């Protein structure tokens, strides 16, 4: 099975978020996909296969399947357009509906559902969990968004992962107004096997409507300020958001696994 690692939301190696991309020809069970994702040990491994006029796409962390992933979708689009079909417009069938990605120059523009968060009450555990004062709190589904005073404050966040895991079933996003861009963020998801994700495209489905409303803008530039870091170019379109970024190839190879057999080659 062809396998790629792509650094997403960056124009250079060893930055952005590395995504594993498996190009599947045949059938894999959920158990097989989970085992491969665990072995890859990246924050996400994508499994993509042809389906009609597009591609079926699923994403797995080392411990569970997720319903939406941005950086692995970007990585998959990079692989499809460069190594599989040489096309600029891609249609992916996922657990979050149909997602489209268009290649525009060196950018891959993803069309995702908007996920507008709702304000929630601040409690002391929130500030305790991140080691900084929380000034606003929002929630969307199983994800909590905590706003801190500024970018410097966000850089100084020192998460207690035990408390983070108690705050939200999926993830805690910490965000602030940016200095050199519109907004910045960090993403913590210990419950799905990812302590801190380098760059999280799907989180911006929540962050874009939040910051578009706060700043009164439809086009925004965002940075995720993890150690690797990444840049995202964002647009708010009401019920949909567009998230664009660059990507670079780190690795191209093969996984020695015979699809459909459950056995090593």
Q: Enumerate the active-site residues.
A: 44
**Hey, what are 12's tokens?**
């250079």
Smallest CA-to-CA distance from 69 within 21, 119, 4, 117 is with: 21
Closest CA to 42 of 9, 74, 7: 7
Give the DSSP H or E segment for 75: helix 70-79
Compute the half-sphere exposure of residue 142: CA atoms within 13 Å on the CB side of its CA.
11
What gap in Å lies between CA 60 and CA 80, rounded to an integer? 18
Q: Write the burial class of residue 140 (CB in 10 Å: 0-12 exposed, 13-18 middle, 19+ buried).
A: buried
**What percentage of the chain's residues is helix, strand, coil (to nearest 5)?**
25, 45, 35
Alpha helices per DSSP H over 90-223:
124-130, 151-155, 161-167, 204-215
Contact, 91 vs 100, CB < 8 A?
Answer: yes
Structural element, H or E, at residue 38: helix 30-40
Interatomic CA distance for residues 31 and 244, integer angstroms:
32
- The length of the chain in residues reads 265
């Amino acid at each position: 099975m062809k396998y790629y690692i792509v650094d997403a939301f960056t124009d250079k190696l060893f930055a952005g978020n590395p995504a594993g991309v498996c190009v599947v020809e045949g059938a894999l069970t959920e158990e097989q996909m989970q085992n491969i994702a665990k072995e890859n040990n990246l924050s996400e491994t994508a499994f993509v296969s042809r389906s009609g006029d597009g591609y079926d796409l699923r994403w797995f962390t080392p411990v569970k399947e997720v319903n939406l992933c941005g950086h692995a979708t970007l990585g998959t689009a990079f692989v499809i357009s460069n190594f599989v079909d040489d096309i600029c417009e891609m249609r992916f069938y996922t657990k979050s509906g149909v997602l489209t990605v268009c290649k525009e120059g060196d950018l891959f523009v993803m069309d995702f559902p908007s996920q507008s968060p709702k304000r929630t009450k601040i409690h002391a555990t929130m500030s305790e969990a991140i080691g900084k004062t929380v000034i606003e709190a929002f929630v969307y589904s199983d994800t909590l968004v905590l706003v801190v005073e500024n970018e410097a404050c966000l850089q100084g966040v020192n998460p207690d992962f035990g408390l983070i895991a108690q705050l939200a079933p999926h993830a805690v996003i910490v965000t602030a107004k940016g200095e050199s861009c519109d907004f910045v963020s960090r993403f913590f998801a210990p419950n799905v096997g990812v302590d801190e994700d380098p760059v999280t495209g799907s989180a911006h489905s929540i962050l874009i409507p939040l910051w578009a409303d706060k700043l009164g803008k439809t086009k925004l530039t965002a940075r995720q300020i993890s150690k690797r870091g990444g840049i995202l170019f964002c647009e708010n379109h009401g019920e949909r958001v567009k998230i664009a970024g660059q990507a670079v190839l780190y690795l191209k190879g093969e996984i020695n696994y015979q699809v459909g057999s459950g056995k090593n080659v």
